A and B are shown apart, each in its own frame.
Chain A
Amino acid sequence: MRSSTILIYFLLCYVCSIVKTIKDEDFSEFDDFDQDEFVIETPSSTSAPPPSSSSKTQSNKLESTNDENIPQSKLTETQDDEVSIDDDDDAMFDEEEFETSDLFSSSTSSPDFKITEVPANLTGNRWEAYYCEAIMMIALLGYLIHFLIGRTKNSQLATIIYNSQRDLLERNFALVGDNGQTRNTQSSDEQINTMHKESENLYILWCSGRISMDSMLIELRFIKRQCLFNSLAALIKSINDTIVYTIDYGKDDMDTFVFCLARKRCAAKLHRDMNDLSQFCAERKNADKKGLSSNYQLLSELGEVSSAIIDTRVAEFMDKFPDAVEYIHISDQYTGMKGQNGDQQTPSTSSTNTGSAAQQQDALNISERSVRRVLIIAFNLISYKDRSLQVSCENLSSDYLRFVLYLIDRVSSFRLTSKDSKMKAIKNRQRIDEQFLKNVNQQRQEQAQQRREEQRRAEKEKIMQSDDPELQRKWEEKEHKREMKRRQPKMKQMKIKAM
């Protein structure tokens, strides 16, 4: 490869030299002769002939760059020699040959030939030039491998947790595992074997058919191990895998109260984001007073509830598994997070396929808020006592489920005893309901106003388009009368009252 480039180089030099000589011969009659060069005799023989003296003077300047010809050029410049044309033809030719190489290498004269750089992918080992592509391919393959490994890990964890809880679930629930699509609730073998995969990091299991409750949804929210960036972010932020039990109660299954026990890191967030906690719970208190660790905070609507819910069994569990419980949220006014689902919209209306305006209309026609009675418990899945996460999950998940079942029964059997608490609960709910109705009325009025304005605009456009001046005048008079009517009644009412 290198020899080929050198060969090409020399070939081009030769071609250039030939072209140069042809040029010189063509224009030799226009050369300016310096008489001094030809008259003075010197002993040295190395000198240029008169016809080519101009070219020699030109080339002499250029020869200074060429190492081989510097001594010769100096001699020719300094010494005024007699030049014989015949003897030094070969020398001259050789000089010119080297001169043209100078010409060629120097950038002062306009080059006729350019040696363009051959692209790296066409010379030598072509694949070496594609190193960027190789890096991208390796990155893509690396991400894909990480995806497969992460997905398998999450799936294994889900299977382990399901297998450890399955017996207890089947003993307590008539229906374990339902995707809501099959006609019969008698699930096939496929559904029983694994949890339903909602995404690569979210597995769910629906359980129903038990005393004192309607249903339970178990959600395994894993770290997104399938995505490289998310797993790195999880390492930095120290996010855990969580298992969330969401229990829905029937209307008569639980009493009216709102309560939350949460770790400090998420208590503030829940208090801010959850509708019911922000509306019913005034402040957060430390859980030290109830015998729990200082890591936890209490949000309670009624003081009676905290001491009833946090009994000895709960305290023992919290001592045995210090960081297991992330939060316990009990509420009969659960409406989700702020801004996600408004107070007015219900899950049932959102499934209709009507337009958004019609949905809004349906939402505004509802006179009651749609609330759920829930018990939500979130556990952290962390490895204990230097065991792997999988082994810890296998051992602990059944303990967590027993605790959940205990709490379900505790909440459903608890009833408020003091009259003050009951009155306070009723007052709070009335207050919130009134606020809700006010909002709904306001929105209805705004909608009605908008509709009226739209109708007027439509009328105006029709009348303007009709190009009938009389119609326009009549419409403008009507508008004027309407505006006067709007202003006048207030004044009249004031007068009557004064009388």
Chain B
Amino acid sequence: MDNRRPARIHRFRPALITQADDALPDYMNLMGMIFSMCSLMLKIKWCAWVAIFAALVGFANSRTSDDAKQVLSSFMLSISAVVVTYMQNPAPMTIPFMQ
């Protein structure tokens, strides 16, 4: 017995996907931006590296429907933070609590 009924076809609606409460990619993007700003303004090297990490984690957890531009801008900002911080002071990084 054929159970198929072409007349009963309904189109897919994205709203029917169960909403995940995962806000991790948004938090990671925000953290990336904050750490990049800290590293650029306060000239702290480890902040720049943490910003790259945050951008990477945000990218890994992002949804396909999310705008790729935001993830890319987060990456670009963190990489520019690292480059600018090292151009200002080429000395090696020192972690404050390790000294």
Report which A residues bind B (CB closer than 8 A).
119-121, 129-133, 136, 139-140, 143-144, 147, 171-175, 178-180, 185, 197-200, 202, 204, 206, 208-211, 213-215, 217, 219, 224, 226-227, 229-230, 244, 246, 248, 250, 340-341, 347, 350-351
Q: Out of A204, A206, A214, A347, which one reaches B15, CB within 8 Å?
A: A347
- B15 near A227 (CB under 8 angstroms)? no
Chain B residues positioned under 8 Å from A139 (CB to CB): 53
Q: A132-B94, A198-B63 are in contact. Are A340 and B5 (CB under 8 A)?
A: no
Are B90 and A211 touching (Cβ within 8 A)? no
Q: Is B9 an interface residue (CB 8 A)?
A: yes
A351, B94: Cα distance in complex, Å: 50
7 contacts between A and B (CB under 8 A): A132-B46, A198-B63, A198-B64, A214-B8, A215-B10, A224-B61, A351-B15
Given A199-B62, A215-B10: 10 more A-B contacts, CB < 8 Å = A120-B92, A136-B53, A140-B52, A143-B56, A172-B4, A174-B4, A174-B9, A180-B11, A204-B17, A246-B18
User: B46: which A residues are within 8 A, CB to CB?
Assistant: 132
Q: Which residue of B lies closest to A204 (CB)?
A: B17
- Asked whether, in the complex, the Cβ of B6 is within 8 Å of the Cβ of A200, the reply is no
Q: Is A227 in contact with B61, judged by CB distance below 8 angstroms? A: yes
Q: Is the CB of A214 within 8 A of B4?
A: no
For B4, the chain A residues whose CB sits under 8 A away are 171-174, 209-210
- Answer yes or no: B91 CB below 8 A from chain A CBs: yes
The yes or no answer to B93 lying at the interface (CB within 8 A) is yes
Q: Which of B1-38 contact A (CB under 8 A)?
A: 3-20
> Contact at B18–A208, with CB atoms within 8 Å?
no
User: CA separation between A244 and B20, bound complex, in Å?
Assistant: 14
Q: Say if the beta carbon of B65 comes within 8 Å of chain A.
A: yes
Q: Given A208-B8, A214-B10, A227-B57, does the pair A131, B16 have CB atoms closer than 8 Å?
A: no
Give the residue of B12, B49, B57, B60 whose beta carbon is less than 8 angstroms from that of A206: B12
Q: For chains A and B in complex, what number of residue pairs have CB atoms within 8 angstroms?
A: 116
Q: Is the CB of A132 within 8 A of B10?
A: no
Write the chain A residue with the least CB distance to B49: A136
- Asked if B41 is at the interface (CB within 8 A of a chain A CB), the reply is no
Is B12 in contact with A198, judged by CB distance below 8 angstroms?
Answer: no
CB pair A208 B9 closer than 8 Å? yes
Q: Which of A210, A226, A227, A246 contacts B3 (CB 8 A)?
A: A210
Q: Are B5 and A178 in contact (CB under 8 A)?
A: no
Q: How far is the CA of A297 from the CA of B14 in the complex (A)?
A: 32
Interface size class of B (residues with CB under 8 A): 35 or more
Q: Name the contact of A217 in the complex, choosing from B11, B16, B53 (C-beta under 8 A).
A: B16
By beta carbon, the residue of chain A nearest B86 is A133
* CB-based nearest B residue for A346: B15
Q: Does B95 contact A (CB under 8 A)?
A: yes
Nearest-neighbour CB distance to chain B for A139, whole angstroms, equals 7
How far apart are the CA atoms of A350 and B15 in the complex, in Å?
Answer: 9
- Contact present for A230 and B61 (CB under 8 Å): yes
Q: Is the CB of B10 within 8 A of A199?
A: no
Taking CB atoms, residues of chain A closer than 8 Å to B63 are 198-199, 202
* Complex alpha-carbon distance, A119 and B93, angstroms: 12
Taking CB atoms, residues of chain B closer than 8 Å to A131 are 92
Chain B residue contacts of A129, Cβ below 8 A? 92
Q: Decide if A133 touches B93 in the complex (CB within 8 Å).
A: yes
Q: Do the beta carbons of A179 and B64 come within 8 Å of each other?
A: no
State whether A200 touches B60 (Cβ < 8 A): yes
State in angstroms the CA–CA spacing of A147 and B55 once bound together. Answer: 13
Given known pairs A144-B56, A197-B64, A198-B17, the reply for A209 and B9 (CB within 8 Å) is yes
- Supposing A136-B49, A197-B64, A246-B16 touch, asked if A175 and B9 sit within 8 A by C-beta, the answer is yes
Kindly report which residue of chain B lies nearest to residue A128, judged by CB atoms: B92
Bound-state Cα–Cα, A206 to B17, Å: 10
With A and B bound together, what is the CA distance between A219 and B18 in angstroms?
9
Q: What separation, in Å, do the CA atoms of A227 and B22 have in the docked complex?
A: 13
Nearest CB of A to B99, in Å: 11
Interface centre among A136, A171, A185, A246 (most CB of B within 10 A): A136
> Which B residues touch A144, using CB under 8 A?
56
Q: How far is the CB of A50 from the nearest CB of chain B, in Å? A: 53
Q: Are A347 and B9 in contact (CB under 8 A)?
A: no
Chain A residues within 8 Å of B15, by CB: 347, 350-351
Distance (whole angstroms) from the CB of A123 to the closest CB of chain B: 12
Q: B86 → chain A, closest Cβ, in Å?
A: 9
Residues in B neighbouring A227, C-beta threshold 8 A: 57, 60-61
Least CB distance, A401 to chain B, in whole angstroms? 13
Residue of A nearest to B2 (CB): A171
**Which of A120, A136, A219 lies in contact with B17, CB distance below 8 A?**
A219
CB contact under 8 A between A209 and B64, given known A136-B49, A350-B15: no
Please measure, in the bound complex, the distance between the C-alpha atom of A119 and the C-alpha atom of B94, giving whole angstroms: 13
Q: How far is the CA of A248 from the CA of B90 in the complex (A)?
A: 61
- Which residue in B7, B53, B65 is a CB contact (below 8 Å) of A143? B53
Are A121 and B5 interface neighbours, CB within 8 A? no
Most chain A beta-carbon contacts within 10 A, residue among B8, B57, B60, B94:
B60
